[in-house]
Amino acid sequence: MTRKLPPLNALRAFEAAARHGRIVDAAAELCVTHGAVSRQVKQLEQSLGVSLFRRAGTGVELTDAGTRLLPALSSAFDLIETGVDRVSPSSSGALLVSCSGTFIIRWLIPRLHGFRSRHPEIEIRLSESDAPIDFTEDAADLAIRNMMPPWPDDMIATPIFGEEVGPVLSPELQAELEIRSVDDLSRAPLLHTETRVTAWSDWLAAAGRSDIDPASGDRFEHFYYMLQAAASGLGVAIGPRPLVDDDIVIGRLVAPLGYIESGRHYVVLRPVRDDARVEAFVAWLTDVAVQA
């Protein structure tokens, strides 16, 4: 298919002048002369056979035709800019990392000083999300997701550690309930999260138990709230390693029944393109995960 479009420079000149409302400001943005912008706009008007501007004091004002054309051009240039950014290797600018809020708070932030010490030249920005990632639409440079295999085949996936899960509770509640076997959970208040509603049923099934009600107990909107409730002695939660490891080490939580593999993994996802910042971050994550 052959595209029948006016010259790109003429379209850029019109779009810039329309946004600014002044030819001189468009010329400054495009690094050309006032006369060059005027000629490009005139060329576009002749090509389309319509007037796009009318004079308005020291500036310009869009005609009806110009008003209809501007939104489409602005959207098109935005898409072009986004597409170019997606495929252009960059070693500057902040690295945008997308991952769940619980992972950010309970694992990533406590360890980020290590990356900063290794790469002080790379600025990190964290974006909270656990939704499926689409690097053609999302602004993130990489994403960390908790997921089951197989990994997506339209991006690079690097598993950093497998997930193990088990019941966790505060030392005070453990002293009161004395949880030593799965049987003891029948008299314990269970805690749940809306972000993984089958956590208890999955764990009990893996433990070979169907005689304990997996739906009883308090429910929390976010994983972090549930873990905070467990640490505060409100009940027993299914805690995933490594998100509870730090609390276990300092004695804020205990895991009296140990852990079992859930089949899920924490995976770093990134687009198929060269980016030194992303490579550095993934290498650091892999090193830290080995030590976890």
Mean pLDDT of 78-97: 70
148 and 183 co-located in one domain: no
C-alpha 283 chain-centroid distance: 19
Residue 3 within a domain: no
Q: At what angle do helices 8-20 and 34-48 cross, to 10 degrees?
A: 110
Strands 218-220, 142-147: pairing is unpaired
Residues forming a β-bridge with 267: 145, 159
Question: Rounded to whole angstroms, how far apart are CA atoms 269 and 170?
Answer: 34
Mean pLDDT of 136-149: 92
Whichever domain contains 246, its CATH number is 3.40.190.10
Strands (E), the chain: 53-56, 59-62, 95-99, 124-128, 142-147, 156-168, 191-193, 218-220, 237-241, 260-270
147, 257 Cβ separation under 8 angstroms: no
Per-residue pLDDT tens digits for 238-257: 999 989 999 999 999 999 99
The mean predicted confidence, pLDDT, of the chain is 90
Residue 129 within a domain: yes
Residue 254 pLDDT: 98
C-alpha 62 chain-centroid distance: 39
Residue 110 pLDDT: 93
Q: Does pLDDT of 176 surpass 60?
A: yes
- What domain range includes position 235? 163-262
Min mean pLDDT across 143-147, 210-214, 282-286 is at 210-214
Q: Does pLDDT of 1 surpass 70?
A: no
Residue 78 pLDDT: 80
- CA angle (202, 207, 209) in 5-degree steps: 85
Q: Does pLDDT of 188 surpass 90?
A: yes
256 and 274 co-located in one domain: no
Q: Is 211 helix (H, G, I), strand (E, B) or coil?
A: coil
Percent of the chain with pLDDT over 70: 95
Q: Which domain-ending residue is among 36, 59, 87?
A: 87
Number of domains in the chain: 3
- Picking from 232, 234, 202, 231, the residue whose alpha carbon sits closest to that of residue 217 is 234
The pLDDT confidence band at residue 88, using thresholds 50, 70 and 90, is: low
Residue 84 pLDDT: 65
The pLDDT confidence band at residue 160, using thresholds 50, 70 and 90, is: very high
The structure's pTM equals 0.67
Q: Does pLDDT of 167 surpass 90?
A: yes
18, 70 Cβ separation under 8 angstroms: yes
Cα–Cα distances in angstroms (integers) from residue 237 to residues 86, 140, 167, in the given order: 41, 31, 5
Residue 2 within a domain: no
Mean pLDDT of 68-84: 82
The pLDDT confidence band at residue 89, using thresholds 50, 70 and 90, is: very low
Residue 147 within a domain: yes
Mean pLDDT of 160-180: 96
Residue 103 pLDDT: 94
Cα–Cα distances in angstroms (integers) from residue 287 to residues 99, 138, 174, 291, in the given order: 18, 27, 34, 7
Residue 27 within a domain: yes
115 and 203 co-located in one domain: no
The pLDDT confidence band at residue 92, using thresholds 50, 70 and 90, is: low
Strands 191-193, 218-220: pairing is parallel
Question: Rounded to whole angstroms, how far apart are CA atoms 98 and 286?
Answer: 17
Residue 273 pLDDT: 87
Q: Which domain-ending residue is among 87, 105, 122?
A: 87
78 and 130 co-located in one domain: no
